[in-house]
């Protein structure tokens, strides 16, 4: 058992569902060479622990018409963070928001159809009391897509002794 509470079977199951999210429990059991009930119990456990957070499709924003992606750093006036986050939740083009350390307070990923649309999105973002300063960087190309599979594969390797 790893310090994460995930054993090799859990890790192999995570790799399998990451590679084929629509695969059924029976097929997973066949691939992993364990009983169907074992796969279902493991999946249920991983979901209840918050390791597996969903089975929804990964969406490619450009294929949906959102060709522009940008990262916006926000500096928030003291006491306004909750209001700003509530405001950002109402802007569909804001796809992620993280509290950060350093010069800024929030780091946001936003998408837009065009640069002109991005300008409108950025104006919507700052249309709330409490934002003191923003900094925006437009992403030109994505070099590595958000990924977790290498971390899970690394867990499989950690369960084996190093000789």
In the chain, the DSSP E strands lie at 68-76, 94-99, 106-112, 131-139
62-139: in CATH 3.30.70.920: yes
Locate tokens 């059991």: which residue? Answer: 29
Please give the CATH architecture assigned to the domain spanning 8-57.
Orthogonal Bundle (1.10)
Give the global pTM: 0.81
Locate tokens 């009930």: which residue? Answer: 37
CA atoms within 13 A on the CB side of 47: 9
| Residues 62-92: tens digit of each pLDDT | 999 999 999 999 999 999 999 999 999 999 9
Mapped onto helix, strand or coil, the DSSP state of residue 69 is strand
Q: Where are the domains of the chain?
A: 8-57, 62-139
């Amino acid at each position: 058992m790893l310090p994460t509470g995930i054993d090799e079977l859990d890790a192999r199951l995570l790799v399998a569902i990451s590679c084929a999210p629509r695969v059924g429990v029976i097929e997973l059991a066949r691939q992993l060479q364990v009983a169907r009930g074992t796969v279902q119990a493991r999946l249920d456990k991983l979901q209840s622990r918050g390791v597996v957070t969903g089975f929804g499709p990964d969406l490619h924003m450009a294929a949906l018409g959102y060709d522009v992606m940008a990262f916006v750093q926000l500096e928030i006036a003291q006491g306004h963070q909750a209001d700003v986050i509530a405001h950002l939740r109402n802007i569909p083009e804001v796809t992620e928001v993280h509290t950060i350390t350093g010069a800024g307070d929030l780091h946001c990923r936003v998408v837009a159809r065009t640069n002109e649309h991005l300008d409108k999105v950025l104006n919507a973002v700052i249309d709330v009391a409490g934002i003191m300063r923003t900094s925006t960087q437009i992403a030109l190309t994505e070099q590595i897509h958000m990924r977790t599979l290498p971390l899970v594969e690394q867990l499989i390797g950690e369960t084996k002794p190093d000789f």
